[in-house]
Amino acid sequence: MIDAPPHTELSDQAAYAAAVQLATDAAAAYYGQGDSSLDDDAYDQLVRGIAAYEREHPEHVLPSSPTGKVAGGAVTGDVPHTVPMLSLDNVFGPEELADWAASLERRLGRGVTSWSVEPKLDGLAISARYRGGRLVQLVTRGDGTAGEDVSHAIGTIVGLPGRLADAVTVELRGEVMMTAEQFEQACAKRQAHDGSTFANPRSAAAGTLRAQDRPYTCELTFFGYGALPDPGDDSEQAVRLRELPHSEIMAWVAEQGVRTTADTPVAGIVAVTLDEVQARVEHIAAERAELPFGIDGIVIKCDLAGDQRQAGFSSRAPRWAIAYKLPAVEKITKLVGVEWNTGRTGVIAPRAVLEPVELDGSVVTYATLHNVADITRRGLMLGDSVVVYKAGDVIPRVESPVVHLRSGAEQPIVFPEVCPSCGDAIDRSQERWRCVRGRACRAIASIGYAVGRDQLDIEGLAGNRIQQLLDAGLIADFADLFFLTSEQLLTLERMGRTSTDNLLAAIERAKSRPLSRVFCALGVRGTGRSMSRRIARHFGSMDAIRAADAEAIQAVEGMGPEKAPVVVAELVELAPLIDKLVAAGVTMTEPGWRPPVVSGTDVALDAQTTSEVGGTSELPLVGMSVVVTGSMSGALEALTRNQMNELIERAGGKSSSSVSKRTSLLVAGENAGSKRAKAESLDVRIVGPEEFADLVGAFL
């Protein structure tokens, strides 16, 4: 058995009363305008703590306690619901799910016939009332018995048509939310209007749904999750809807032109066994980071109407449905400081220093802030309560300040006047501020990166040796390494004949590295190892890359319209360095490259590669996205991860660092960890190092 989910410990009656008040206030804010002093995880822990205290001290239970109430008992409304709009109880893992399913089956006196499994969308529950097929009223959940009329929002919600396909009278229930794209658009509109921004998509959706007098309109999205005929309607269609399985009701809702999750990677499914339910839970959880909308769990319910009727309801939730909660990817914490660091390209980057907070399985102390313009757009201040977001393998980032929690003690963030690394002036002409010395500011970092194993791979050049060469005035950038002489090196401390010869031999070997590695060594902003390989294979030579304009650069796979001009400008800035590399005899072509031959939409392989493997059809990884994880063995044991990625691309595939629904193959070595588990949940093909070596043997 797993440990019980954590809860807030309440030591006495006073602590309990304070917790009840805090939970009620937080729920009122959350279900009202979408703002709260607590994030979801903190609220859940608080309510579990209240419930635990009440079990031990039933004589102390307050009438205002949020336990056993819809929306925590914090909100009301003036439009009665035709059928109560209840909340869901929660489970937090497979063991709790199994316990809940067992208790449900004991209540039924038999097994559940079939299960419906669908994502729990992170939005606001509403009821959309249609009369004769026309949308006439929108009502929020409220306290479950009555809600607020928000019909003024009709016409602004994608996925909720003004008319259904059939002229029916029905109540559709679902979630109103903002997709990631809608949230960005809403933030831009609010920023332009009053200089502020929304805290997160849920609060933006809540505020937008209720707003009636804004001078700008923000788009929302509706996902349906149920349909109810009027309780007094005894028509043939109403009777039929009441008897349909949930899965068939959702198919009917989609046929009416209403948006459901059916066309998303996390569509609702029907499962027969609990193992199938758990497998789908894991699949949806694995997809979470890449969805264009927020989910905070998975809803599991009896699919058949008969099972639902027999199971019945409690005062706040149906007994035939449960919410399987996922770990929080968003938390509220304090911004206690901002650190300013100069990177190897001279870019000055801020980093948020946070009060430590547990997020998605790890303790987060630092988060990304991007740049000065980003800080200004978000209106951040030192001391702010901030929303910190993390999903999948993404580095934590500060989303926004929680403005309504400001105390007045917050202070402006002080921007640097000079480069924090060298003290020289700052170039502020672009959003990303940069030291006027550029790469020269952090020469040791720039050179260290260039000579690294996945770039030029020059052994014997540790940081202290690079610093020694810089201090002696023998180099100013990594191109100068190729002009070093034995006599110069022998003048340095701790450089004898053997170490000198070894270093010069390593430098000489580096001259023959392929263009992809040389380009990567340049450290062009907006590129990395994978993009450098794509650029090198697209153009074939440094001359062709340097001659390309932004439009030509953008033709490289994965190169966006914003990055392409930066790459062009960087290459102009790096011209003296590249010229020195050319003069030193460093390779400036990609081995085996030939100009691609375009025929319709197909691009033929170069002649050399085709002749080696007998044609494009014999490239074993064509069209495949491949992820490598764990420790390699056998023929692959000596390869670095970058070399594995190069091997994948030589064999016609595309290397990737994370598993998703688009992954074709996972190469899993020893200690593969979470990526293997995610691949299994997505039914991705998994092979070991030996099988993969056999598959791509011609390219090793």
Could you tell me the CATH number of the domain that includes residue 65? 1.10.287
Angle formed by the axes of helices 529-539 and 641-650, to 10°? 30
Residue 598 confidence (pLDDT): 42
Contact 529, 454 (CB under 8 A): yes
Where is the domain boundary, 403, 427, 451? 427
The predicted pLDDT at position 32 comes to 56
Could you tell me the mean pLDDT of each successive run of 10 residues in the chain, 700 residues long?
58 85 76 61 80 86 75 64 89 92 94 95 93 93 87 93 93 94 88 77 85 86 93 84 94 95 92 93 86 91 95 89 87 93 89 88 84 86 89 71 85 95 91 88 91 92 92 93 95 92 95 94 87 90 95 89 89 94 94 53 38 52 90 90 84 83 91 83 92 88
d(CA 632, CA 641): 9
Structure tokens at 290: 């890449």
73, 99, 114: which is the final residue of a domain? Answer: 73
3-state secondary structure of 52: helix
Q: How far is Cα 536 from Cα 518, in angstroms, rounded to an integer?
A: 9
Contacts of 618 (CB under 8 A, 6+ apart): none
Question: Among candidates 88, 16, 95, which has minimal Cα distance to 55?
Answer: 16
- Is residue 204 classed exposed, middle or buried when 0-12, 13-18 and 19+ CB atoms within 10 A define those classes? buried
104 close to 319: Cβ distance less than 8 angstroms = yes
Which of these, 646, 685, 649, lies nearest to 667 by C-alpha position? 685
Q: Are residues 553 and 476 in the same domain?
A: no
Same domain, 569 and 679: no
pLDDT for 327 equals 79
Q: What is the pLDDT of residue 614?
A: 39
Q: Are residues 695 and 662 in the same domain?
A: yes
* Within a domain: 340: yes
Q: Measure Cα distances from 85 to 66, 121, 131, 263, 311 in Å.
A: 16, 16, 19, 26, 17
Q: 404 and 534, same structural domain?
A: no
Residue-level pLDDT at 48: 82
Sign of CA dihedral 99, 104, 110, 113: negative
Choosing from 427, 456, 484, the residue where a domain stops is 427
In-domain check, residue 435: no
Distance in angstroms (rounded) separating the CA atoms of residues 3 and 5: 6
Q: How far is CA 614 from CA 346, 598, 599, 605, 609, in A?
A: 47, 19, 19, 11, 8
Q: In this structure, are residues 596 and 603 in contact, taking their beta carbons and an 8 Å threshold?
A: yes
Answer for the pair 568, 575: CB distance below 8 angstroms, yes or no. Answer: no
Asked if residue 678 and residue 634 are part of one domain, the reply reads yes
- Rounded Cα–Cα distance for residues 325 and 122 (Å): 11
In a domain, 598, yes or no: no
**What pLDDT sits at residue 489?**
95
- In DSSP terms, which residues pair with 338 in a beta bridge? 352
pLDDT score of 37: 63
CATH number of the domain bearing residue 539? 1.10.150.20
In a domain, 532, yes or no: yes
In a domain, 607, yes or no: no
> 131 in a domain, yes or no?
yes
Q: CA-to-CA distance for 659 and 647, rounded, in angstroms?
A: 18
Are residue 172 and residue 307 in the same domain, yes or no?
Answer: yes
Residue 210 in contact with residue 176, Cβ under 8 Å?
no
The catalytic position among 69, 120, 511, 661 is 120
Tokens at 243, concatenated: 């008897």
Please tell me whether residues 411 and 345 are part of one structural domain: yes
Question: What is the DSSP secondary structure assignment for residue 620, as one 8-state letter?
Answer: T
**Residue 314: strand, helix, or coil:** coil
Q: Six-digit token pair at 515? A: 């263009």
Domain holding 658: CATH number? 3.40.50.10190
DSSP percent split of the chain into helix, strand, coil, nearest 5: 40, 20, 40
Tokens 């202070």 locate to: 411
User: Domain containing 193 — which CATH number?
Assistant: 3.30.470.30
In three-state secondary structure terms, 601 is coil
Residue 238, domain extent: 79-325
| Crossing angle of the two packed helices 463-471 and 443-450, in degrees rounded to 10 | 130
Q: Are residues 316 and 336 in the same domain?
A: no
Q: Is residue 522 part of a domain?
A: yes
- How far is 389 from 357, CA to CA, in rounded Å? 11
Nearest to 570 by CA among 526, 607, 603, 635: 526
Residues, the chain, total? Answer: 700
Q: With respect to residue 66, please indicate whether it lies within any of the assigned structural domains.
A: yes
* One domain, residues 171 and 53: no
Total domain count, the chain: 6
Q: What pLDDT is recorded for position 409?
A: 93
98 and 178, same domain (yes or no): yes
Helix (H) or strand (E) holding 353: strand 348-359
Q: What is the pLDDT of residue 608?
A: 38
Give CA–CA dist 462/453, Å, rounded.
11
Q: Please tell me whether residues 55 and 86 are part of one structural domain.
A: no
pLDDT at 592: 61
Cα–Cα distance, 646 to 654 (Å, whole number): 9
Strand, helix or coil at 64?
coil
Residues 101 and 132 in one domain: yes
Chain centroid to Cα 132, Å, comes to 41
Instruction: Tell me whether residue 312 is exposed, middle or buried, using C-beta atoms within 10 angstroms of its C-beta: 0 to 12, 13 to 18, 19 or more.
Output: exposed
Quick check: is 120 catalytic? yes
> What CA–CA distance (Å, rounded) separates 668 from 13?
53
